[in-house]
Amino acid sequence: MSANSFDARSSLQVGDESYEIFKLSAVEGSERLPYSLKVLLENLLRTEDGANITADHIRALGGWDQNAEPSQEIQFTPARVIMQDFTGVPCVVDLATMREAVKELGGDPAKINPLAPAELVIDHSVIADKFGTKDAFTQNVEIEYGRNQERYQFLRWGQTAFDEFKVVPPGTGIVHQVNIEHLARTVMVRNGQAYPDTCVGTDSHTTMVNGLGVLGWGVGGIEAEAAMLGQPVSMLIPRVVGFKLNGQLPAGTTATDLVLTITEMLRKHGVVGKFVEFYGEGVTAIPLANRATIGNMSPEFGSTCAIFPIDAETISYLKLTGRSEQQLALVEAYAKEQGLWHDPSVEPVYSEYLELDVSTVVPSISGPKRPQDRVILAEAAEKFAEVLPAYSAEASKPTAVTAPDGSTYEIDNGAVVIASITSCTNTSNPSVMLGAALLAKKAVEKGLTVKPWVKTTLAPGSKVVMDYYEKAGVLPYMEKLGFNLVGYGCVTCIGNSGPLPEEVSAAVNEADLAVVSVLSGNRNFEGRINPDVKMNYLASPPLVVAYALAGNMNIDITKDALGQDADGNDVFLADIWPSEKEVADVVAGSIDEAMFDKGYQDVFAGDHRWQSLSIPTGNTFEWDAESTYVRKPPYFEGMAKTPSPVTDIAGARVLAKLGDSVTTDHISPASSIKPGTPAAQYLTEHGVEKRDFNSFGSRRGNHEVMIRGTFANIRLRNQVAPGTEGGYTRDFTQADGPVSFIYDASQNYQAAGIPLVVLAGKEYGSGSSRDWAAKGTALLGVKAVIAESYERIHRSNLIGMGVLPLQFPEGQTADSLGLTGEETFSISGVVALNEGGIPETVKVVADGVEFDAKVRIDTPGEADYYRNGGILQYVLRSLIG
């Protein structure tokens, strides 16, 4: 029950139903707040308990100073938690382990139970092993179940053992698309109350739901577990960036071009740790699917969220996707009652302002290794040639390939070997999906074919896509070009592109070619997409098809011919690009409410494979000592009811010295497991054949595999071991510090009682909300990370695992301080945390080099987690207490 200090409790009548609400107008200053902060204000009013959330917190938010730097901590209680299986499996593993830990400490295991709706969508496990055939989908699903049976049995057990926990089985769709099409409420109803739908998710692209007016963002799995167990998310009242949109997209451009432009603008502006909110007349012209596409890319420009307010377009989309009439009426009535309905004529108060005339957007792609590196399509071939020397010493290396049917062809640097329509970002958007299909239709009618070296895959975010492809009659044209359905899941974007054809892979590796993938995704980091592919470009679905026809990044597809028709005439992109009207007409004629009703009718039931899985019973899990997928982690071994005091760090060595933009993919890859590496050795020792290694992502429930995979990305460059690429370091427990696998060195350091540190550059930990990037770091024995700057999620995850995040002094770097990574480090002043506060800096001494590092424990709540050795230990002690 809320303390209700502001007498905000009221009621709202909608039709025959009456709901309890907490009126924002009860708080002075609320009417001037941005939309996103109004949602936070309601959250505080409803959860005010006089201890963690007080009247002073509410007043501070009502009196928000848009110009101030964030300093006021608040506790945000999300309405629900959403997960995908790569990051969700470890969450359920940890909850199962916590049940046993509570029991061992004399508590009630049933207390470990989600207190708010928690929904998990299995979407990250399907791999495009088979492609280009009508039965590719069926074969891939069969392989997926064979590989992942242990994980799926475990998740089915979780569905029965935990209240408020639901699982969307494999082969249904991508978590964020299922979220906006079905799971999102926009306005929640629970225990007679109506309040804004808010969520945190174990995937950074949770922000896709911002397009529906739902405030939510990605957190690490460990934070999500805490949220499930009723712990609020500790945060500072943020700065809010207002992004005004004007005008309409010009002909020949897509939502993807718009979002790549916005991504580039916001990354340049600098929005890390800030909220971004879209407003203005132009918002009303942005279809909901485009809003979701923009929200989805929030992690790529670095903001906490990228939200659109509720308006008539929101209601139209909720209606289209099958929400009930009562729910539609409630969303509209609630939003208008609370001042959450978008009024384009009002200029809200923001901390910072940006503006974009949407009519100035031009066709674009992004790459070759970061989503924010936008390239104007007309300059793509030229820009590719400029960056190629970083990936290949030679501009051209024509290499002969003999296909299985005996035909031969040549591939070269720049060959497009993967063209994939994939990911939540774009496959949720009918205009670009049908645009791609219409382009394919025109290409087929002109007699064009995809180049023989291109692996073509179609992985929609929900079954509804295939329904409207069928209804529009365009599926045969996609299949004619090899874009057959391979699965409903993240696939290429998460690194599950599957192997290239053997002959292509052999040619690429023998000649060390710099080949390319083009995908309609949101992530193109080094080493992520495919181990054979060095350069990756993000593009709209129609451009993915166009590049599959062109077959090479050296071709200027805006001017050069994509191929020839039956009469030998050149065919250009302009000849097959569908008009805006053509796309709009097909969208209008092929999508209806019934498709969503049918697609989500029994969304949690699953097919015969899911239902026939045998599962254990009981409220504690029966761990299988032989399992290579699900193992009981060591986080709570030897844990006492009260934490030991934190200590300074002495005699530490450097495990890794890293450059700028090291992502969570570099730290904890989700990709395939490379033979010969520590993770592969572990699996081989446990009787797993190479063909069944699967991916790091799928084995996230086994800490033994994941520790061995930490810092094991094939493109990681650890400056402690110069000249190496991959998971290598130098082991200074041995004479002369020989080069060693990071895992092996870590084991030696831990056996010798030597703590470890990591040195890093700017934007350390950017990328997905990978809890294992922090878990693996902690389990390798790393006690502190010293970086120039951090990505928000990874910084908080490090604290959540008891690792101290420190920052170099402003303007200083490891190199400017003369640090090589061969030094011995001591860090003093950490013990000040035992006194209840947070020291601003600690003293770092490394072989004569001294500096004051900034402590990046940003809130009192984070300090509590660190003092307890991690967030899960803090929650466990709180529950027992």
Per-residue pLDDT, 104? 87
Average pLDDT over residues 805-829: 98
CA-CA distance, 34 to 17, in Å (whole number)?
A: 29
pLDDT for res 769: 65
Please check the confidence at residue 273 and state whether its pLDDT lies above 70.
yes
Q: What is the pLDDT of residues 789-811, one digit of tens each?
A: 998 889 989 999 999 999 999 99
Q: For residues 332 and 696, which has the higher predicted lDDT (pLDDT)?
A: 332
* Amino acid occupying residue 67: N
Q: Is the pLDDT of residue 881 over 80?
A: no
Q: What integer is the mean pLDDT of 255-263?
A: 94
pLDDT for the residue numbered 230: 86
The CA angle 377-378-384, to the nearest 5 degrees, is 70
Comparing 364-591 with 649-880, is the CATH topology the same?
no
Residues 506-539: tens digit of each pLDDT: 999 999 999 999 999 988 988 889 999 999 999 9
Pick the CATH number of 80-360 from 3.30.499.10, 1.10.2020.10, 3.30.1490.20, 3.40.50.720: 3.30.499.10
Q: Which of 96-110, 447-461, 479-493 has the lowest mean pLDDT?
A: 96-110
Domain ranges of the chain: 9-64, 80-360, 364-591, 649-880
**What's 834's DSSP letter?**
G
The Cα–Cα gap between 496 and 521 comes to 12
Span 147-161, average pLDDT: 92
Region 448-460: mean pLDDT is 97
DSSP 546: H
Percent of residues, the chain, with pLDDT higher than 70: 100
Is the predicted pLDDT of residue 381 greater than 90, yes or no? yes
Looking at this protein, which amino acid is placed at residue 118? A
Q: pLDDT at position 70, please?
A: 93
Q: pLDDT for 685-727, tens place per residue?
A: 999 999 899 889 889 999 999 999 999 998 899 999 999 999 9
Q: Is 432 left (phi over 0), alpha (psi -120 to 50) or beta?
A: alpha
pLDDT band at 577; cut points 50, 70, 90: very high
Question: pLDDT-based confidence at 110, cuts 50/70/90?
Answer: confident
R_g (Cα) of the chain, nearest Å: 26
Question: Kind of pairing, strands 841-846 and 9-14?
Answer: unpaired
8-state DSSP, 406: S
Sorted by sequence, the CB contacts under 8 Å of residue 411 that are 6+ apart come out as 398, 399, 401, 417, 453, 504, 507, 508, 513, 515
CB 231 within 8 A of CB 870: no
Helix 255-269 vs helix 430-445: crossing angle, to nearest 10? 130
Query: Tens of pLDDT along 407-434?
Result: 999 999 999 999 999 988 898 899 999 9
Architecture of domain 364-591: 2-Layer Sandwich (3.30)
Superfamily of domain 649-880: Aconitase, domain 4 (3.20.19.10)
Percent of the chain with pLDDT strictly greater than 90: 85
What is the distance between the alpha carbons of residues 514 and 498, in angstroms, rounded to a whole number?
18
Helical H runs in 321-374?
A: 325-337
- Decide: 94 and 61 in contact? Cβ < 8 Å: no
CA distance 746 to 752: 10
The per-residue pLDDT for range 291-301, each reduced to its tens digit, is 999 999 999 99
- Supply the pLDDT for residue 620: 86
> pTM (2 decimals)?
0.88
Per-residue pLDDT reduced to its tens digit, 735-758: 999 999 999 999 999 999 999 999
- Whether 770 shows a pLDDT value over 80: the answer reads no
Its sign, for the CA torsion 775, 780, 783, 784, is: negative
